């Protein structure tokens, strides 16, 4: 099939590359000439393991191309995906749909013959109706079927998620779209990936509900971790005991500094706002949002406590800046709030991240960025693990002990155990485990 992917950001590029890898002919469109030129040179705008290779191989094979010409790509396509950004709107927290509506108007003016228009962006309930209305108003003769097909990609594992999905949700009102959409995902049938056809509004809500539930699960275990610290229980063992119940499962039960990234923060807020507008407030989701925001900055207090309640004039080394490993995404990363709290307390902050420093530099003033863990640890009064990159899982603590002014480790991801760190003469604080300092 011939597919046009409007938007060559995270979702659009990963989806387009994987669809091309299935054998479809995919054209990725973007308004940024610099981005298109970079993609044509094989330079990725994001860090995602395996993405550069899959883009390069499909570009060489002629199945994947990049262009600024939206009209040409849409006119030639059987299926057009809208994969533009839907950031939180300033002032009220609703999803900003201006890019979606802009894409819909341009698509309407360019379609040639029957075309399936698919909203891949994360959008509030009812957006598909508005997209269809926009297309009809812009071009009453446009022969289109508007479909919702939300993405469920985890940053750092997006290619595997696309090729081996838990489910593929397709929301439609026009039955003519069923066969083309089944054909788009036909290569996955050998994997028996469940193809779930629903109404368009149901599909849109599934995406928000899924993200809100996972965010709530993270927030729940973080609050349990706080209780564990007060009563002398171990949150990791609590999480394991819970997760062995297959009704609950083990995923998203790792206590830490709160959730961040491009999806959970904005999607939980947008869902809460939508629910309020419809007179069906989601109190659990509202509380999840509030607790998560408080938690990020509260994690800095562990650093204060580990250093006797005072960080003014002290040097703090931060390991990990991105909101999770295997991405360069700094959006809503807990590290931002933690570092700001430390700076507010008068600390000098050094930081290192394997992939995120270029994205972090514009966001973090008065922070010294280093070349690696041992570089930023030299002369530091405390080392703080904020993101659990693999590179931080086997640190040389004998070397760190020699480098640091004060041997203190604050492990906000519970990567290590107190006993192994104590052998090297370190004070150790973690999250939700008994007998820890801080």
Q: Hey, which residues are catalytic here?
A: 263
If you compute the radius of gyration of the chain from its CA atoms, what whole number of angstroms results? 24
Q: Specify the long-range contacts of residues 395-403, CB closer than 8 Å, at least 24 apart.
A: 397/421, 397/424, 397/426, 398/424, 399/374, 400/373, 400/374, 400/424, 400/426, 401/425, 401/426, 403/374, 403/377, 403/378, 403/379
Burial of 398 (0-12, 13-18, 19+ CB in 10 A): exposed
* CA 125, 261, 218, 89 torsion-angle sign: negative
Burial of 374 (0-12, 13-18, 19+ CB in 10 A): middle
Cα(408)–Cα(421) distance, rounded to whole angstroms? 10
Cα(159)–Cα(294) distance, rounded to whole angstroms? 33
**Structure tokens of 413?**
């991801």
Contact (Cβ atoms closer than 8 angstroms) between residue 83 and residue 7? yes
Residue 411 CB partners (closer than 8 Å, separation 6+): 385, 421, 428, 429, 430, 431
How is residue 66 annotated by DSSP? Answer: E
**Structure tokens of 385?**
């693990």
How is residue 87 annotated by DSSP? Answer: P
């Amino acid at each position: 099939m011939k597919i046009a992917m409007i938007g060559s950001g995270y979702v659009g590029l990963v989806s387009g590359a994987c669809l091309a890898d299935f054998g479809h002919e995919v054209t990725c469109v973007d308004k940024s000439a610099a981005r298109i030129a970079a993609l044509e040179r094989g330079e990725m705008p994001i860090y995602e393991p395996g993405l550069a290779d899959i883009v390069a191989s499909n570009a060489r094979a002629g199945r994947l191309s990049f262009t600024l010409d939206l009209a040409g790509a849409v006119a030639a396509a059987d299926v057009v995906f809208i994969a533009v950004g839907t950031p939180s709107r300033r002032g009220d927290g609703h999803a900003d749909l201006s890019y979606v509506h802009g894409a819909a108007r341009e698509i309407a003016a360019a379609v040639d013959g029957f075309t399936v228009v698919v909203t891949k962006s994360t959008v509030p309930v009812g957006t598909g109706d508005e997209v269809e209305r926009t297309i009809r108003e812009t071009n009453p003769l446009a022969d289109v079927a508007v479909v919702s097909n939300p993405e469920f990609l985890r940053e750092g594992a997006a290619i595997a998620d696309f090729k081996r999905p838990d489910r593929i949700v397709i929301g439609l009102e026009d039955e003519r779209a069923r066969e083309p959409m089944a054909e788009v995902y036909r290569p996955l049938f050998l994997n028996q990936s469940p193809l779930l056809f629903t109404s368009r509004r149901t599909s849109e809500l599934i995406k928000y509900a899924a993200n809100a539930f996972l965010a709530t699960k993270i927030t729940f275990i973080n609050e349990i971790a706080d209780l564990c610290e007060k009563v002398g229980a171990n949150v990791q063992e609590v999480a394991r005991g819970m997760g062995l119940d297959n009704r609950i499962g083990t995923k998203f039960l790792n206590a830490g500094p709160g959730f961040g990234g491009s999806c959970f923060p904005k999607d939980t807020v947008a869902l809460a706002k939508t629910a309020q507008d419809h007179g069906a407030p989601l109190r659990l989701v509202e509380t999840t949002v509030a607790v998560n925001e408080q938690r990020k900055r509260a994690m800095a207090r562990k650093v204060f406590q580990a250093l006797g309640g005072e960080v003014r004039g002290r040097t703090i080394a931060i390991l990990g800046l991105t909101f999770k490993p295997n991405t360069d995404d700094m959006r809503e990363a807990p590290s931002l709030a933690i570092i700001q709290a430390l700076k507010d307390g008068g600390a000098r902050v050094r930081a290192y991240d394997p992939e995120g420093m270029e994205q972090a530099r514009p966001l973090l003033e008065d922070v010294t960025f280093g070349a690696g863990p041992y570089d930023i640890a030299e002369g530091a009064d405390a080392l703080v693990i904020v993101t659990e990159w693999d590179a931080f899982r086997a640190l040389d603590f004998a070397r760190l002990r020699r480098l640091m002014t004060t041997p203190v480790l604050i492990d906000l991801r519970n990567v290590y155990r107190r006993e192994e760190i104590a052998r090297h003469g370190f004070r150790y604080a973690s999250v939700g485990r008994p007998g820890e300092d801080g």
